[in-house]
Structure 1
């Protein structure tokens, strides 16, 4: 009959763990359940700095025949909470011993801690502080990663994160963006770094809408005061997506695979100058269609506003705009952002109306002042502005809005028109 575990397991101390570690030259290994444990490190790069800024420590296990054992199988071996805690601490002890002997004396070491281990550890845990003292690693070089997964004791998790912060370590949430993720944990724990789940990148590679969501998540995390790391980057296209999303750090096989050869830590393998040069070239191409819109429509817009200034109706002034196959609608707003007349919908726009969004079609007296294109036009009268593609609230379709502010008597007015964002750029000049 199996005995019940005590409510608070006895915490394994350094003295208990030390005999399980063995030094082999400049590296260390550890014994656990007949397996030999080694440290593998994978570089983490800053895109802006174009160099390594840290390493994630990963455990590698081998059986007596030197056959590799998957980490997931290793962490299934403990039969009690006490043994799970021992294995977790043994891994961190091993990683820190190895990193303290490495030549790198500047960059971060990322260490994983699961919420399960956090919640079974002692509230008065002093283990990690003692480990820092023994390995002589400054706490500011350690990033403690908490895996983003459900926990039954959110308060214990918050207290544990606060403990690592008091020691002077940085903290990170790992695998953010998985199915259970939410921003509440970000707000509660205030991590220094958030590591995005690689599934976000996989989806962004396959779906443009997912790419926009990824960019939005990065922006929200930055506004929350977190640096953002995107892991799982495996191709050049994914590196471009990561750079475009505005993440601070990247990690993945495209840059460097994890290695147990700890003597090669400082060897750079990625040409970030070339990578960023490729990104700038691609980014210029993606910006060209918007520039094309401004160049093509600028003369038409100015003629339309001149006609409005001369007393023409919206229908008369906007006939040329509305006849273009990419334009869906035109409307006029005053200097307060309030729409003056009903929206003029083109034949293209009429054909694209979705009856499901009929409640949004009537925009008479709508207030558009919150929209950046309206405020931007008011700030720079006479200049034609174009937005990046966004979801139009009047019909839930992707569009680009062109806006131009002009004087009409003693008032300022803004002429706007929506161009379908999914129209090929070549069709603009052919309209």
Structure 2
């Protein structure tokens, strides 16, 4: 395959003819009773406020100029045993029209049928088109759809070879069907395209909305850039922006077209998202600070009393009397809990009953927790975590912590607050 890419003959495409659409010149070609041409859907970087790539999409019309869905085109090609041939025609067409697009630095995203990667003739035709059009491999992103792959290990090996030649690899429609993270490790793509279905779930379900940023963060930790596709509404665009995705694609930013993206339009929309995100973040922080204020005051007073030598059982009552205060506990300088949790609310034992194996925390080590590390790094200052999942009842929780000296010992006083879902959504 590698030698085919390097030594492929340079020949012009046969059967291509120029076509005018909306005043733009592009190539079209005939296959049986169909006419094929290309449109390009722009892919935008939320940081750069501009298009950084275009996905080539096939458009087909029959003899009566009626549109034929691409799925039908490839379905019929598969039945006729022409799948690789039609895939090759579409790829060549997209390359020719991408060159006509006049994009000088953007990527071209190409959907690739998995079997085509391993076919030498297909690779040779691909190389010939790239050579003729003077398009270096670094300008091409090969999109691989995991649901269409039967021999994933073989395709992963071919993808690795294409990457060595300079191409980028994208895993397409991730999060749909039977997607799993093992595919990410196997294929090792440069870009992961998150399927619209995951975004749609996030737009309609609060728990899914909370998961999306974590999922993006996980892919970032794995060294993958993240593209969220299918962004169609303002709310979905806001979710994609807040999730820290790198790239977005969808009708909200730009529809497939024969010509280049409207950069001004997209930049304005992304700018509006940034302003909205900043406003929402500032408002959320103000609400969070106002909600935490009484807990922080009560907790600071409890710290003063602990430092004066009063026992933990006596100093936490003002804090625990506040709505949603869950428990107080004390850690030593190594993060080990000294004594049991101090609980006031009568309903607390009932809530903890299902998690009885972890209810007794005496001797537990919480050194890995952010609240312990923050307190030890900056003693004599009250700290509050972001909401996280408490091990005590598997519920959202915020922990307040304060490192104080009790005699010669440095201890960390901690207090948990139930961060109930409906209130958390209002922070």
Tell me if TM exceeds 0.5: yes
Q: Please say if residues 10 and 131 of structure 2, whose CA atoms lie closer than 8 Å, have aligned partners that are also in contact.
A: no
Q: Secondary structure at the match of 2:272?
A: helix
Q: 1:425 to 1:157 in 2, by over 3 A?
A: closer
Matches within 5 A, 1:38-49: 38-49=37-48
Match of 1:321 among 319, 322, 344: 319
1:10 is matched with: none
Q: C-alpha distance in 1, partners of 2:222/2:78?
A: 39
Closer, same or farther in 2 for the Cα pair 1:215/1:348, shift >3 Å? Answer: farther
TM superposition shift of 1:196: 0.5
Cα RMSD of the aligned pairs, angstroms, is: 2.4
**Counterpart residue number, 1:9:** none
CA deviations on 1:313-349 (whole Å, 9 max, x unpaired) are: 2121000011111101111111111111100123166
Q: What is the DSSP-based 3-state SS (H/G/I as helix, E as strand, rest coil) of the residue aligned with 2:402?
A: strand
Aligned to 2:5: none
Match of 1:285 in 2: 283
* Alignment deviations for residues 289-320 of structure 1 (CA, whole Å, 9 cap, x no partner): 33224433222112101111222221210000
| Greater displacement, 43-52 / 355-364 | 355-364
Confirm or deny that 1:365 pairs with 2:363: yes
Structure 1: how far apart are the matches of 2:300 and 2:352?
31
User: Residues 311 and 100 (structure 1 numbering): CA distance in 2 closer, same or farther, change over 3 Å?
Assistant: same
Q: Structure 2 regions of 5+ residues with no counterpart?
A: 1-7
Which residue of 2 is the match for residue 256 of structure 1? 254
Match of 1:181? Answer: 179
Gaps of 5+ in 1: 1-12
Which residue of structure 2 lines up, in the alignment, with residue 24 of structure 1?
19
Q: Measured at CA, do residues 205 and 266 of structure 1 come closer, stay the same or move farther in structure 2, by a change above 3 Å? A: closer
Residue 100 of structure 1 contacts residue 136 of structure 1 at CA under 8 Å; is this kept in 2? no
Is residue 52–residue 268 contact of structure 1 (8 Å, CA) maintained in 2? Answer: no
SS in 2 for 1:149: helix
Matches within 5 A, 1:337-348: 337-347=335-345
CA distance in 1, matches of 2:10, 2:19: 20
**Matches of 2:212 and 2:110, distance apart in 1:** 25
**Contact kept? 2:254, 2:262, Cα under 8 Å:** no
User: Per-residue displacement from partner, 1:364-403 (whole Å, max 9, x unpaired)?
Assistant: 1111111111111111112211112111111111111111
Give the aligned length.
412
Partner of 1:76: 75
Residue 296 of structure 2 is aligned to residue 298 of structure 1: yes
Tell me if structure 2 keeps the 8 A contact 1:104–1:266.
no
Instruction: Name the SS of the counterpart of 2:264 in structure 1.
Output: coil
Tell me the distance in 2 between the aligned counterparts of 1:248 and 1:198: 15
2:4 is matched with which residue? none
Which portions of structure 1, spanning 4 or more consecutive aligned residues, are displaced by more than 6 angstroms? Answer: 13-17
Match of 1:243 among 235, 241, 246: 241
Aligned to 1:91: 90
Shift of 1:71: 1.2
TM-score w.r.t. the length of structure 2 is 0.90
The 5 A counterparts of 1:194-213 are 194-213=192-211
Shift of 1:354: 4.7
SS of equivalent to 1:218: helix
SS at match of 1:353: helix
Deviation at 1:136, TM superposition (A): 1.9
Secondary structure of 2:77's aligned partner: coil
SS at structure 2 position matched to 1:406? strand
Q: Post-superposition shift, 1:103?
A: 2.1
Note if contact 2:54-2:108 (Cα within 8 Å) is conserved in structure 1. yes
Deviation at 1:124, TM superposition (A): 9.2
State the Cα deviation string for residues 175-207 of structure 1 (Å, max 9, x = none). Answer: 111232222222222211110011111111122
Distance 1:325 1:351, change over 3 A: farther
